[in-house]
Structure 1
Amino acid sequence: MLFEFSILLGFLVPRGDSKGIYFVEERNGKTYTQPLTGQATDKIGEQIRELFNIDINPNGPAVKANNYVSTYMKRLYKQLENYEHGENHNEEEVNAWLSADRIVSHMAQEVSHRLDDGSYSIRFAKEHVPAKEGQSIVRAQLRIHIQGIVSPVFFYIEDTNLPGDTVLVSSDDPTVVTDVTTMVDRWSHLQLSTLPIVTARASTNDELKIEAFLVIALKDEDAGPPKKRSRRSASTTPISAPPMRQKVKRSESAYFEKPNENERCQRKGLYVDFDILGWKQWVIAPEGFSAFYCSGDCSAPFSKEMNATSHAIVQSTLHRVRPNSTTPAKCAPSSLGSYKILFVDQNKQVQIKRYRDMVVDECGCH
């Protein structure tokens, strides 16, 4: 079972109105922002919507997912953020969640009342079974929340083909978590003509109220392992955090609007608030997207901070000697990281979706 803890991410707290789209620049230990307006905002917003391509309808009514599902998926999202930003772990299950491109939750379509033999039938929709084409199942959990427990009972999940499925449940800890990776993978290989069913048995004659959902981690078959964020990169401005707005002098603002031509290659930011895209009622976390980019000059002398490759140094030298025969070295990403969004889709299912090579961690001259 994934070790659960409640460490919150150290997000920056926005000052004033943080809604909108901003250019963000770090200088002299301070954060400067410049809001975009007009057609530039519309164009960038359109590109971001197309880029994320998530199953939501910004013009549709507000959606509300099951409370138990939302609570668990929020906690899982925060755990993964902490692990990716340096929190140590040695659990195989954690690695499965971290390697996934999508983590999808599915509420049971139907949970029966207590049957004559003391069992409960938990039915899932056929569309909850992942298709095998183009993706693989790296982890699947069945999570059951039980109400109506008077005294501790044994709870048994059938048809998982895994040992250790009998769990002692009490009113203090009324949740049963079972690994069903083998079962869900078997479902995906079968041509199911009926709804997938899980049978649960409780060692009590009392009628229990059961809410159940699946959490399935999927990985794109053509995707490699996710790139790990370095500790130095992780200590910079959090990806999920809205930028802090600060008042700047007119001369500093003018400098920001018209960058110095001799400014060295470095990472800069463009923050897009999801509310301005109409996603507030769909996207649970984060509040916005920090689209870092690389900008600046790549000419000699090269400092260590410029992360220049040997080729960039040669390219720059040749350009100085024969400027018409070759182009100068370019400021470009030297390290890329992934980005995750926690959202509710149009079917009221909560998902975590990962985008690989989405965020610039470091810039360099190439």
Structure 2
Amino acid sequence: MDTKAMLGTVLLLLALAKPSCPSPARVTNQRAEALKRLLEVFGMEDPPPPPAHSKQPPQYMVDLFNTVANADGVTKNPDVLEGNTVRSFLDKTHSEKMRFLFVLSSVGKNEKILTAELHLYRLRPRAPDGPKRHHLCQVSVYQVLKGGDLDAPGGKKLLAARLVALQGSGWEVFSITQAVRDWTEDESSNQGLLVTVQGLGGSLVETPPLQFASGQDHHESKKPMLVLFTDDGRRGASLPVGDFPDFQPQAPLLPSTLPVPKRAGPRSTRSLDQLQPCQRHPLSVDFEEIGWSGWIISPRGYNAYHCKGSCPFPLGENMRPTNHATVQSIINALKLSEGVSSPCCVPNKLYSINLLYFDDDENVVLKQYDDMVAGSCGCH
């Protein structure tokens, strides 16, 4: 996102925060237009409806958000995500059998599938009826092929297989990237997945010694889940901020020479404001006040900040000027050319934020948006 686009975002956030027009009808129209523009910033046409019931997000997605972002959603660990979007899908079959179906209609056509993972929760093993012969079994994940008989040679395609310990419990993750890419290219080819458990000799057993939680009778936190790491190509100029949790508001930028009037009457308020040095000011975005708290899980809001103030001649290093801004300031001060204004106070560092939210299908999405927070200001 360039400087012009960032300024546009700041203006619409300011419009949301404090509508300035006294006419109620006009305020309503202005708010609606601002919300529409803000949705465009977040890559949406309409806000998703809140879940029909008090649905809890998968713990995996909550933990991932907390690993990537601080409490305000600002990216603190930029190397965790592959791409800028993580989508989670719950199984739609709700069956005790090891067949799974994940509906991927919410994946955008412009999204590139980077990695797809099947997450299955391994339950604690039951007490064996007889003596234990082995401590391992083989778990295989198959893609069910369109129109195929599962027992026929062309009915399924092996995607992943490995040995899994019979003891203990926890999540098992299987990579199924190519199958998901096939499904997003041809939705009708999505006939689901089949998971089998075999002994070390390769034979199926009637009562598998290892069982996974199903989508029917087990707690929502343990339900089978498909996780997609994708990238929608929306990239800006955001900088990684490894120490952002301890990030403090930028200290005021003081110009090297700033004339202070001896008296300040009522009419000089605007002049005083214009004489304030270029610096960063708070700009709170409250998702509950906007009306989005029903579908946004985290954060509840964030501080976007905005830049305001003058860039007087001469520009000191504390104003973080570009060479172009320095030349422009000199030309303006010496009146060497008509129509040349003084440099502008704008963000010179931008940081990304992350949203954890429910989409239109009540799937939980973690998405990273670049250029959403002004980290510092300077004269450009």
| Length-normalised TM-score, structure 2 | 0.66
Native 8 Å contact 1:273 1:287 kept in 2: yes
- Measured in 2, the distance between the counterparts of 1:225 and 1:165 equals 40
Alpha-carbon distance change, 71 to 234 in structure 1, aligned in 2, over 3 angstroms: closer
Residues 158, 199 of structure 1: 8 Å contact kept: yes
Task: State the match for 2:41 in structure 1.
Answer: 51
Secondary structure of 1:301's aligned partner? coil
Q: Is the 8 A contact 1:111 1:121 kept in 2?
A: no
The one-character-per-residue Cα deviations of 1:284-305 (angstroms, maximum 9, x if unpaired) are: 1011132222111112232333
Aligned counterpart for 1:309 among listed residues 322, 327, 333: 322
1:136 to 103, 112, 116: 112
Q: Any stretches of 5+ residues in structure 1 without a counterpart?
A: 1-20, 24-34, 88-93, 115-119, 239-253
Q: Give the structure 2 partner of residue 220 of structure 1.
A: 232
Q: Could you tell me which amino acid in structure 2 is paired with residue 216 of structure 1? A: L
1:201 aligns with one of 197, 201, 208: 197
Q: What does the per-residue CA deviation read over 1:87-106, in whole Å, with 9 as the maximum and x for residues that have no partner?
A: 5xxxxxx84x5242221111
What corresponds to 2:99 in structure 1? 121
| Residues 39, 237 of structure 1: alpha-carbon distance in 2 compared, 3 angstrom cutoff | farther
Match of 1:10 in 2: none
Go from structure 1 to structure 2 and tell me whether the alpha carbon gap of 1:166 and 1:220 turns closer, same or farther (over 3 Å shift).
Answer: same
Secondary structure (helix, strand or coil) at the match of 1:149 reads coil
Q: Distance in 1 between matches of 2:325 and 2:277?
A: 14
Report 1:179-194 matches (<5 A): 179-190=175-186, 192-194=188-190
Give SS of 1:113's match.
Answer: coil
Amino acid at match of 1:142: L
Measured against aligned partners, the alpha-carbon deviations of 1:169-197 in whole angstroms (never above 9, x if no partner) come to: 54x53321222223322333446345222
141-150 vs 38-47, which moves further:
38-47
CA contact (8 A) 2:121 2:169 kept: no
Q: Report the Cα offset of residue 316 of structure 1.
A: 0.6
Change (3 A) 1:185 1:59: closer
After TM superposition, the structure 1 stretch with the greater mean CA deviation from structure 2, 182-191 or 327-336, is: 182-191
- Normalized per residue, the structure richer in strand is 1
Q: Letter of the aligned partner of 2:64 in structure 1? A: L
- 1:353 positional shift: 1.8
Please name the residue that 1:251 is paired with.
Answer: none
Q: State the secondary structure of the residue aligned to 1:260.
A: helix
CA distance in 1, matches of 2:104, 2:230: 17
Partner Cα distance (1:39, 1:167) in 2? 65
Give the total of aligned pairs. Answer: 300
Equivalent in the alignment of 2:374: 360
Do 1:80 and 1:98's aligned partners in 2 also have CA atoms closer than 8 Å?
Answer: yes
AA of the residue aligned to 1:138: L
Matched, 1:77 2:90: no
Give the Cα–Cα distance (whole angstroms) in 1 for the partners of residues 197 and 91 of structure 2: 16
Q: Give the AA of the match of 1:72.
A: Y
Q: TM-score under structure 1 normalisation?
A: 0.68
Aligned twin of 2:217: none
Work out the CA distance in 2 between the residues paired with 1:209 and 1:175.
10
1:340·1:355 contact (CA, 8 Å) conserved in 2? yes
Structure 2 counterpart SS, 1:316: helix
Q: Any idea what the Cα deviations from partners look like across 1:226-270, whole Å, max 9, x if unmatched?
A: 7333457664359xxxxxxxxxxxxxxx9xx96632211112221
**Equivalent position SS for 1:305:** helix
Matched-pair identity in % = 23
**C-alpha separation in 2, matches of 1:231 and 1:275:** 28
Superposition pairs of residues 208-247 of structure 1, within 5 angstroms: 209-210=213-214, 211-221=223-233, 223-224=234-235, 227-230=238-241, 235-237=246-248
Task: Kindly state the Cα deviation for residue 344 of structure 1 after the two structures are TM-superposed.
Answer: 1.1
Q: Give distance in 2, aligned partners of 1:232 and 1:297.
A: 29
Show the 5 A alignment for 1:1-366.
36=18, 43=30, 46=35, 47-54=37-44, 62-65=52-55, 67=56, 69-81=57-69, 95=79, 98-114=81-97, 120-125=98-103, 127=105, 130=107, 133-147=109-123, 149-150=125-126, 154=137, 156-159=139-142, 165-168=162-165, 170=167, 172-190=168-186, 192-201=188-197, 205=207, 209-210=213-214, 211-221=223-233, 223-224=234-235, 227-230=238-241, 235-237=246-248, 260-322=273-335, 324-366=338-380
For residue 62 of structure 1, report the CA deviation from its aligned partner: 4.6
**Secondary structure in 1 aligned to 2:342?**
coil
Deviation at 1:148, TM superposition (A): 6.0
Please give the alpha-carbon distance, in whole angstroms, between the structure 2 residues aligned to 1:235 and 1:194. 46
Q: Give the match for residue 250 of structure 1.
A: none
2:323 counterpart letter in structure 1: S
Displacement, 1:78? Answer: 0.8
Q: Give the partner amino acid of 1:175.
A: W
Query: Mean alpha-carbon deviation: is it higher for 305-314 or for 350-359?
Result: 350-359
Between stretches 296-305 and 268-277, larger displacement belongs to 296-305
Partner of 2:224, secondary structure, is strand
- Work out which of the two has the higher radius of gyration on C-alpha atoms and give 1 or 2: 2
Structure 2, gaps ≥5 residues long:
1-11, 128-134, 144-157, 200-204, 215-222, 250-265
Residue 341 of structure 1: how far off its partner (Å):
0.7
Q: Is the 8 A contact 2:118 2:173 kept in 1?
A: yes
